[in-house]
């Protein structure tokens, strides 16, 4: 899967960490890995992931990001944005510096492609599981401090465009090549359009943490579905968004404007039970991770699970689901055609799944970083 074309009996050839051929099967030389019965895709790219398997991007432990990269690779992810959450400026800056250091050193699994700063400039009325004690208004001083701490690796910042000087902040971000995203927002339809006019081009975890759709006041959800200037993130875990709403988004926007994200958090893939997340207790039950009262606190999935949900529950074509996990996020990060596609010259980032969406092998830069054990 290129991802736009499904080639039966296809072949991918890799040389010096890059793809040298992708197409119909032909005579091959060199070391051969046979996945004839499986599905070979471009590597998945997760734009919004906080943690998993007991590791968090905000952890002071420098090994946390390395553990997170291995956890993600087992779900077919070859690149990700380490995502922070609302916290004091000093904590955010320290987390961003650790992300930069880990990116420079390299990780054993998925590559760190940069940082996604979610908050702190959000609407407290739509904070969800974000810590309301640290929600604040955007200032150029803090924006500059966080951008500097990120070493220029900040790729996305999520804010509420209707609050304070958030529109000026969006313009500030765009001037520096950072994607200005709206999230945890109560923006009306008109406020959303003004934000799009000022450079907001991305809606984080669409539907969740934002004013919903009403037929007399479409809100930012209605604006997102109908305005071609913006991309959407979807958390396809069967908990955040109903399958019908997932399908509606694809019908309205098309797969080229939707990125599947995990929004995975630290307790993801740990046994069911109670855990601490950002100093608060959360309950894990399967894919569901909630605060008291049932507030969703993130997901327990990886992107192979999201692809499965889109196909099996939302009724989306497999090629489209894979596109939303590969080419679309790569395009949002301005990494196409180097990433997100199986084409000559692209990085050899490859995900292999069986037809039940179980990841069998993950390859980053031509090297296997994850291989499933057993059948």
16 is catalytic: no
Contacts of 31 (CB under 8 A, 6+ apart): none
Helix 318-325 crosses helix 303-312 at what angle (to 10 degrees)? 150
First-residue to last-residue Cα distance in the chain? 22
Whether the CB-CB separation of 138 and 165 falls below 8 Å is answered with yes
d(CA 71, CA 58) in angstroms, rounded, equals 16
List 231, 237, 263, 349, catalytic entry: 263
Q: Alpha carbon of 125 to those of 22, 83, 183, 209, 250: distances in Å?
A: 49, 21, 12, 9, 28
The upper half-sphere exposure of residue 100, i.e. CA atoms within 13 Å in the direction of its Cβ, equals 15
Helical (H) or strand (E) element with 202 = strand 200-203
d(CA 4, CA 89) in angstroms, rounded, equals 42
Whether the CB-CB separation of 143 and 92 falls below 8 Å is answered with no
> What residues are annotated to the active site?
263
């Amino acid at each position: 899967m290129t991802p736009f074309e499904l080639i039966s009996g296809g072949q991918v050839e890799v040389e010096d960490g890059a793809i040298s051929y992708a197409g119909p099967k032909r005579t091959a030389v060199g070391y051969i890995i046979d996945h004839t019965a499986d599905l070979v895709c471009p590597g998945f790219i997760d734009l919004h992931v906080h943690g998993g398997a007991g590791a968090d991007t905000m952890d002071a432990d420098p090994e946390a990001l390395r553990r997170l990269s291995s956890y993600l690779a087992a779900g077919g992810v070859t690149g990700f944005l380490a995502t922070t959450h609302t916290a004091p400026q000093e904590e955010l800056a320290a987390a961003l510096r650790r992300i930069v250091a880990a990116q420079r050193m390299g990780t054993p699994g998925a590559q760190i492609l940069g940082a996604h700063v979610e908050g702190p400039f959000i609407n407290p009325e739509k904070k969800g599981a974000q810590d309301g004690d640290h929600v604040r208004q955007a200032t150029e001083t803090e924006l500059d401090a966080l951008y500097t701490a990120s070493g220029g690796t900040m790729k996305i910042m999520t804010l509420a465009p209707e609050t304070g000087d958030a529109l000026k902040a969006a313009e500030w971000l765009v001037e520096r090549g950072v994607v200005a995203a709206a999230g945890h927002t109560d923006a009306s339809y008109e406020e959303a359009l003004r934000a799009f006019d000022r450079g907001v081009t991305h809606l984080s975890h669409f539907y969740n943490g934002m004013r919903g759709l009403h037929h007399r006041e479409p809100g930012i959800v209605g604006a997102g579905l109908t305005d071609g200037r913006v991309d959407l993130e979807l958390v396809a875990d069967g908990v955040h968004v109903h399958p019908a709403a997932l399908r509606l988004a694809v019908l309205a926007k098309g797969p080229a404007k939707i990125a599947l994200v995990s929004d995975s958090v630290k307790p993801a893939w740990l046994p069911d039970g109670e855990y601490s997340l950002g100093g608060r207790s959360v309950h894990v039950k399967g894919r569901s991770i909630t605060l008291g009262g049932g507030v969703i606190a993130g997901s327990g999935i990886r992107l192979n699970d999201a692809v499965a949900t889109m196909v099996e529950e939302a009724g989306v074509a497999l090629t489209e689901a894979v596109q939303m996990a590969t080419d679309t996020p790569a395009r949002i990060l301005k990494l196409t055609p180097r990433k997100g596609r199986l084409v000559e010259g692209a990085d050899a980032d490859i995900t292999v799944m069986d037809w039940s969406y179980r990841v069998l092998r993950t390859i980053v830069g031509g090297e296997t970083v994850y291989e499933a054990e057993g059948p």
